[in-house]
Amino acid sequence: MTPPTTMTAVLADTGATPAPAGWRYCVSTRVGDRTVRFGLANVPRIRFAADADYNRDHVLVRVETFGLTERDVAVLPDDGRRLAGAARGIGSRFVGEVVAVGAAVRTLRTGDRVVPCAEWPPPPDTGSEGLPTLTASRRYLRLPARALFAVPPEMPDRIAAAVAVTGQAAFAVVRRLALSSGESALVCDAHTAHGSALVSALVADRVRVLALMPFPREIEGVDEVVDSLDREARRYALAAKGLDAVIDPGGTARLAAAIPLLGLGGRYVVCGDAGRASDADWNAVHHSLVRKHVSVVGHHLGTRVDLAAAVNAWQRGDWTPPAEPAFGTADLAGFAGHACSVERPGLGLFDLTDAED
């Protein structure tokens, strides 16, 4: 029997031209002020010779489920231009099965279920992104074995996908902050994939959480949910005698409103760069920064230690990641609409198990 020469992939472009030949289930959605079109396509299949020297440290992974992060969603309009008609893909998080291993690989074996293991700072001989892939929507991926993490067989795909990238980054922030039980933290953008993971990781550590999101809803374990950093947030911070931390996945755009909420020695953690504070904002909070010994801390991704911590916390029953809906290959519209929604960007999984191998 002739081996398959193609594999399934979810692709994206700007939708400015007719859909490329062979795209199926095409659907367009809005990301900010741009249109992004998604399509399911057959692309050239990866050939993996396990005994080849260039594959000695690599493995071939069959992707079962993939998802986006809010960063993946944010760059879609730009990435779409170069993805049009290309055999590439989208997304940085996935759950897959190892189906072939290179001759020098000792840490993984065929049949292992794996997720990507982000690393920051990245190893010197890798790209600067710190992410194993930005094309997780391809049915097969060739990746370095060291860029993967084997998850327990009993871990469901929806949990493993939440652990990958977003859960890992959230546990990295919690590790660096080292907040004690009863201390307080504000999580901005708590409606996003990263924000939701941060909230659940902090709640698991018994930290008192104030959550900021544009569409407030009750969140288990969270003290209070607000839609702005005005009266209600200030009242909460005053009752806590100043917050111990503010975590902002969206950048420093909220700097002027968030810094005054911090107490003595508080920390403002920036783990995104979507929005940036103006010079006027920095001038406005200068007094608070100095007098309250406030630190502004940058954070990006995490390490293998943080990914292991997220997996272990789930195994102990101490942490449950936010729930995400799953969509099949016939419901690309549902996936695109949910993952790119304003309400919960980056949340939503796409199941490739019924795709052609």
Max mean pLDDT range (15-24, 235-244, 322-331):
235-244
* Pick from 323, 348, 324, 355: nearest CA to 10: 355
- The stretch 2-24 carries a mean pLDDT of 87
CATH of the domain at 90: 3.90.180.10
Check residue 92 and give its pLDDT.
93
Q: How far apart are CA 267 and CA 263, in angstroms?
A: 9
- The stretch 35-56 carries a mean pLDDT of 93
Asked whether residue 319 is assigned to any structural domain, the reply reads no
Same domain, 105 and 203: no
Same domain, 194 and 111: no
Same domain, 30 and 67: yes
Q: Angle formed by the axes of helices 304-316 and 193-204, to 10°?
A: 60
What pairing do the DSSP bridges indicate for beta strands 34-44 and 24-31?
A: antiparallel
Q: Contact at 8 Å (CB) between 165 and 302?
A: no
Same domain, 199 and 232: yes
Check residue 220 and give its pLDDT.
87
Q: 256 phi and psi, to 5 degrees?
A: -65, -35
Enter the DSSP assignment of 136: T
Query: Residue 305: which H helix or E strand, with range?
Result: helix 304-316
Residues constituting the chain:
357
Same domain, 110 and 17: yes
| Confidence bin at 102 (pLDDT 50/70/90) | very high
| Confidence bin at 218 (pLDDT 50/70/90) | confident
Q: 94 phi and psi, to 5 degrees?
A: -160, 165
- 241-294 pLDDT, tens per residue? 999 999 998 878 888 889 999 999 999 999 877 778 888 888 888 888 899 999
What residues make up the domain containing 176? 166-298
Total domains, the chain: 2
Q: Is the pLDDT of residue 84 over 70?
A: no
* Pick from 83, 79, 89: nearest CA to 139: 89
Same domain, 256 and 330: no
* Pick from 267, 257, 265: nearest CA to 232: 257
- The stretch 133-161 carries a mean pLDDT of 95
Check residue 86 and give its pLDDT.
46
Asked whether residue 230 is assigned to any structural domain, the reply reads yes
Same domain, 19 and 142: yes
Secondary structure E strands in 68-157 = 93-101, 113-116, 140-144, 148-150
Check residue 217 and give its pLDDT.
86
Same domain, 346 and 230: no
Asked whether residue 320 is assigned to any structural domain, the reply reads no
CATH of the domain at 182: 3.40.50.720
| Confidence bin at 85 (pLDDT 50/70/90) | very low
Same domain, 330 and 273: no
| Confidence bin at 176 (pLDDT 50/70/90) | very high
